[in-house]
Each structure stands twice: as structure tokens, then as C-alpha cells.
Amino acid sequence: MSLLIIVLSLTFGSNALADASAKRHCTEGDAIQVEKEADSLNDWDQVYRSYRRFSQCDDGAIAEGYSDSVSKLLANDWNHFDRLLTLTKTDKPFQQFVLKHINETLSDGVLLTIATNARSNCPRGGQSLCRLIARSADKR
């Protein structure tokens, strides 16, 4: 019985270590690179690539840059919302990332435009995401 306990302890302990090592650290090089790009991402694929590569750096000025890019796309480039919808259907943490960046750093006018787009121009199949976006814009 004690051998089984030892084996289980080692197994669960190594899983915890694997989970901890899977979390990436934001290096100084990562922070420098993402700070240059976070506020100038021009489409959802660029936002997604940056998120996948640098989400561990999503704080402070970098987070504000991401908010700027996300808000520009949601307010001024709604015609490409279908691409966002596709990306968030296959990656729910990315959906949370986008919603997190609809925040108090955005102007009231931008938030109103985002909420209006989500309520008035939501494509078929996007109602759930549109509701979440509108709620996020309203809360700020």
C-alpha cells in the first residue's frame, strides 16, 4: 500500500511541476518586442499571433497597447468580426483575452461604438460572443 502512495505522490507531483513549467515567463526581450507591436496590430490574425507568443507579458503598458489594438478592430473594423469569431471558437482563453481588453482604458465613445457594433451588426452564429462583447463594453 505504501508503494502505491509513493507512486501516486510522484505522479501527481511531477504533473504539478509540468504544469508550472508550461507557464512562460515574460523575458526582457519579449517585453521589448511586444511593447513595440501591441498597439499596432491591424487584424485579428496579428492579435492572435501576438497573444500566442506574448500573453505572458500582458500587463501595464503592454496591456494598454493590446487594448488599443482590440478596440480599434472592434470599433472600426467590424467587417472582419467573423475572423475573431473563428479564433475564439477554437481558443476560449483568447476570447477571455479579447474581453479583458475591452476596459476602462478605452474612451466612452469607443466603448459605445463597440457595444453598438455588437448589438446591431452581429453576424449569424456570433450572438454569444457579441453579447459578451456588449456586456464588457457596458461595464466599463
Cβ atoms of 121 and 78 within 8 Å: the answer is yes
Give pTM, 2 decimals.
Answer: 0.82
Cell of 70: 482590440
HSE (side-chain half, CA atoms, 13 Å) at 103: 16
Q: What is the pLDDT of residues 64-104, one digit of tens each?
A: 999 999 999 999 999 999 999 999 999 999 999 999 999 99
Cβ atoms of 64 and 28 within 8 Å: the answer is no
> Domain limits of the chain?
25-139
Report CA torsion sign: 87, 100, 40, 25: negative
Rg (CA), the chain: 19
Q: What is the pLDDT of residues 103-123, one digit of tens each?
A: 999 999 999 999 999 999 999
